[in-house]
Structure 1
Amino acid sequence: MADSALTIVEGSALTLAQKKDLLHRLARVEGQLRGVQRLIAMADVPGDCNAVAQQMAAARKALDRSFVQLLTASIVTQSANAEDLHSAQARASSLAAMLDKFA
């Protein structure tokens, strides 16, 4: 995925650098998944399933790490951009609920 393929908007959820880093990580995961698809298509002997499983696990871990990075970046950015302590606490509570829901 090239950065030029997407329009990155500026906002208060994440900084531009955080968005670019996350998009770069997801592009790498996308490449890993394409590689897994090729491995599955080319699987010939039972031992090939080990390579497929290993690459699937690596892609899953990379996606999980991207999720953690998203939450970490959100906590840092949104807390820093909060107008007051109450707003920061509300954002942190909302992000904690998202972590509980999706992790």
Structure 2
Amino acid sequence: MDQSLKIVEGSALSGAQKKDLLNRLARIEGQLRGVQKLIALAALPDDCDAVAQQMAAARKALDRSFVQLLTSSMLNQSANATSVEQARTSAEQLAAMLDKFA
């Protein structure tokens, strides 16, 4: 994780949830740097298979991070809701985000 990032407390995500997501993204960033090296060193047709495999793994890890972001946000927003209407509004916003980005 980039130590220069200051984690701000808020109601969207807890500090621990943010730290976990940032750590996941740092690992994905490392995977992508590895993919770049594989591409640079690719010399044989079989090398493309290794590149594709690593790209698929990075994509899956990013997808899992996206789901974790939504799940964490859903849990926090429902726990912090002061009324059923506020919880419903939060759920609708998260559903719209899921529909838009998933």
TM-score (norm 2): 0.98
Q: Any residues of structure 2 matched to 1:6-85 within 5 Å, and which?
A: 6-85=5-84
Q: d(CA) in 1 for partners of 2:69 and 2:44?
A: 39
| Structure 1 residue 83: Cα displacement | 1.2
Tell me which amino acid in the other structure corresponds to 1:74: S
**Unpaired runs of at least 5, structure 2:** none
Q: d(CA) in 2 for partners of 1:7 and 1:16?
A: 10
Tell me which amino acid in the other structure corresponds to 1:18: Q
Give aligned-pair identity as a percent: 73
- Equivalent position of 1:94 in the other structure: 93
Q: Which runs of 4+ in 1 moved over 4 A?
A: none
- Counterpart of 1:92 in 2: which secondary structure? helix
Tell me which amino acid in the other structure corresponds to 2:67: V
Tell me which amino acid in the other structure corresponds to 2:86: S
Q: d(CA) in 2 for partners of 1:52 and 1:72?
A: 30
CA-to-aligned-CA distance 1:10-48 (integer Å, 9 cap, x gap) = 000001110000001000000000000000000011110
TM-score (norm 1): 0.97
| Structure 1 residue 5: Cα displacement | 1.8
Equivalences, count: 102
